[in-house]
Structure formats: C-alpha cells, structure tokens
A = this chain, B = another copy of it.
Amino acid sequence: MLGGGAAGMSAASAARRVDRGLEIVVLEATGWAAYGMCGLPYYLSGLVNRPQDLLSYPPEYFRERRRLDLRLHAQALALDVEQRVVRYHHEGQDREIGYSALVVAAGGVPGVPPLPGLGDRPTFTVRTMEDAIALRTLLDAGAVGTALVVGAGYIGLELAEALHARGCRVTVAERLDRVLPNLDEPVAAIVEKHTREHVELRLGVDVAELLAEPGFDVVVVCAGVRPASTVAGDAGALTGPGRALLVDDRMATSLPGVWAAGDCVAPYHRVLGGPAFVPLGPAANKTGRVAGTVAAGGDATFAGVVGTAVVKVFELEVARTGLTLAEAQAAGLAATATDVVSRSRAKYYPGMQPLHVRLVHEAGGRLLGAQLVGREGAAKRVDVVAAALHAELSVDDLVAFDLSYAPPYSPVYDPLIVAAQAAQQELAVPV
C-alpha cells in the first residue's frame, strides 16, 4: 500500500481480512496514519482535544492486531511496473521494496496558488495532521489574533468557523464572487449571508493585494484539492477528470498489478455515467476497501458515487447530492431546478426552522440532484435523494415516498415531498 490515510488503511485492513498470511507493507509519507482528515477543523476549534482522538485506531493497533507493516515518514519515489518494485525514502535512506500487488492511495494535495506575498507570514493548508498541530499550537499560544482564509469552499468555511470559535478575527477572501462553487448560486447565497453574520467575507477579490496588507497573523490556504501526483501516474497510469487515476469498478488502474483508491482516483459517478473527481471521505474508505480486497485476491466491486456531501457552516447544515444545475448543464443535460422553502418540523412545534430545498431534474422527470440548506434537517435528509439517485428514480417517485412524520421531526409533507410536488407542477407546464 502507498498511503496510510483512510483509503490506504482501509485497503490494508481489507487485504488482511482476505488473506491472514499476506505480508502487507504500508508506506505513509507523513508521521500519522488512519486519521479522520475531516476532523481537523474540529481539532483546531478545540471541540476535539487531542490529535490522537481523530485516529480510527492508533498505529500499534494496526501493527499488532492487524499485523500490518506500517512505515511512517516513508515517501514513495518511483514505481517500476515491470519489476514490481517501489523505490521510497525512509529513515534518511533511499530504499526499494518488491510487491506482488500494489495499492496506490496517495490522497489529495491542497492547491496553493503561486501568489506573491504568500509565505511572508505563517501559512497553513490544514491537509495534514502536522500542519493542523502547528496551527493549533499557535492558537493555543494566543498568537493568532487575526487570520486570513484564502478560499470560500467547504474547507475554507469550516476553517473560518474553527478560527472564529477560537476568538480570531477572521477574513475569508475568495477570488470568485461567491462562496461554495459546489452549490448552485441561489443556495450558496443563503450560506454567504449566514457566513457574513460571523466573519468578514471578501468575494471577487485580488488575493495577492490582500496578502500585501499588514494585519493578518496567519494565512490559511483552502484553494481546493487535486489528486496527489502519484508514482503510478509517473509510471504511465491513465488519468481522467482532474488528472485523477482512472480505475475500473474493482479499482484496477491501467497498470498491471496496480490498484488505486481514495482522493487520487476518479471513481464512477452514477448520475454522470462516467468517472468524476469527488475527493471525499466515504468514497475514500469504500474504494480503499475494494482495492485492498481485490489486490489481496478477493472479490469486491465499487458501485460508484452520486456526489453526496454535507458541511456544517456555523449554524447551517449545507448538503448536496447528485448534480447541481450548473454541473448538469455542463454535462449537456436538459436540466432545470425547483426551489422551495419548507420547514424542519411541524409549523406549530417549537424550534421549527426554515429548510431550503433545491431539486435538479431532467425534462422527462428524472431526478439529477438536490441541495438542502437549513439550521436543522438538511444533513441526513439529503440521503433520501442519494438513495433515489442510486436507483435512478424520478420526481414522481420522490412525491410517492412514504417518509416518516412526527411533529418534532418533520411537517406531515416532508420538505423533500413538498419540493418534488412543486417540481411536478413545473415539469407539467409546457415551456
């Protein structure tokens, strides 16, 4: 295995389940393995106390209980597919290791735009545990009065919330004139308004100019993630969207004896009907498990993703699945969208919150995606549409779903059904 993140450790553990006697070596470039990268903002904010709390298991567990040869600070350098040998750097030396099957789980790397002035101050990307620990050390020391977050995507807003929770004055700077490019604009606008209630948000700005200003103690760069350039890519493995490794449904790359998983691959997207680069935790774990199982001689397939994601932005739950309208139109689909504002609970039940639902659908009624935003009821409700997308269902099916009702949890017509009823009306009207 190359990579000891979620995908790599899932692969190694799955391989162990298939073959109790297999020799399994994991080379991890950093000093940490098997941590929940999605937990880093909560470690920074102080909600999670110790970096160890983010580990699914400590290294000793993997080494002793699962008998994995986990080598930390081991950086892969090159791959010889013919000879089945990986060259890597470990403990000050270049070394080689042979393999019969290789799983590449190199993960993603943060994009860092080449901006003049970047690096004049302490700068972080918070993609590794080491980076998060360094930033938290500064926070704990009271050394961060003001922070500049570059990028207003998922991670940028999560980190803005975390730094705000630590009492920093936070400015979020984004080159685009909007937040969350993974959502359609009307939905992102709700998040934008909410974010402005907590931190300063500067959209459509020249970040280089901002960096020239004094007055930021630290800079956190959240300018997107791209697949790590892998030894497999260098050895000629085919790549696809976002230059991520192309894989089949058993996670085989185009190179013999080489499988891949996690944020460095472009798995099958069920709604798009082709590969997509969607670097998120659940797919990393699942593709890792499949790659490890198959590489060890077992049988498994990955059914693909539908593009489901959720993020907490201050008090808002922000969820999406499938395609946004922009993504659907970019894919050449005859898509439209329906927006409704419904409620998270019965209208008379205390604590009820508005819930914004956007459904994206094709002219014939096929569901393509959904986006939900509200103070409660968005995060897991989106999964109902994810299920519908898995089964290629329509707006009519969603209207007919028998969804749970009790006043503390939902109106009698669930917000998804309200949205689907509205979509039925809109689709029935000849354009």
Contact = CB atoms under 8 A, between A and B. Distances in A.
A404 B391 contact: no
A235 interface: no
Interface in A274-331: 280-283, 285, 302-312, 317, 319, 321
B404 A309 contact: yes
A386 interface: yes
Nearest to A312: B408
Nearest to A38: B407
B349 A39 contact: yes
The residue among A39, A48, A403, A408 with the most chain B CB atoms within 10 A of its own CB is: A403
A42 interface: yes
Contacts of A384: 380, 383-384, 386-387
A338 B295 CA distance: 29
A403 to B, nearest CB: 5
A11 to B, nearest CB: 15
A43 to B, nearest CB: 8
Contacts of A391: 387-388, 391, 393, 397
Contacts of A389: 402
**In the complex, which range does the number of interface residues on chain A fall in?**
35 or more
Contacts of A349: 39, 42, 47-48
Contacts of A53: 348
A6 interface: yes
19 contacts: A38-B406, A48-B350, A281-B405, A282-B402, A285-B412, A285-B413, A305-B402, A306-B402, A308-B404, A310-B404, A310-B406, A311-B406, A312-B409, A377-B380, A386-B401, A386-B404, A387-B393, A388-B391, A390-B393
A171 interface: no
A36 interface: yes
A400 interface: yes
Interface in A231-252: none
B383 A280 contact: no
A382 interface: yes
Interface string A109-122: 00000000000000
A379 interface: yes
Contacts of A377: 380
B383 A404 contact: yes
A379 B409 contact: yes
Given A54-B348, A282-B413, A404 B379 contact: yes
A414 interface: yes
Contacts of A311: 406
Contacts of A303: 397, 400
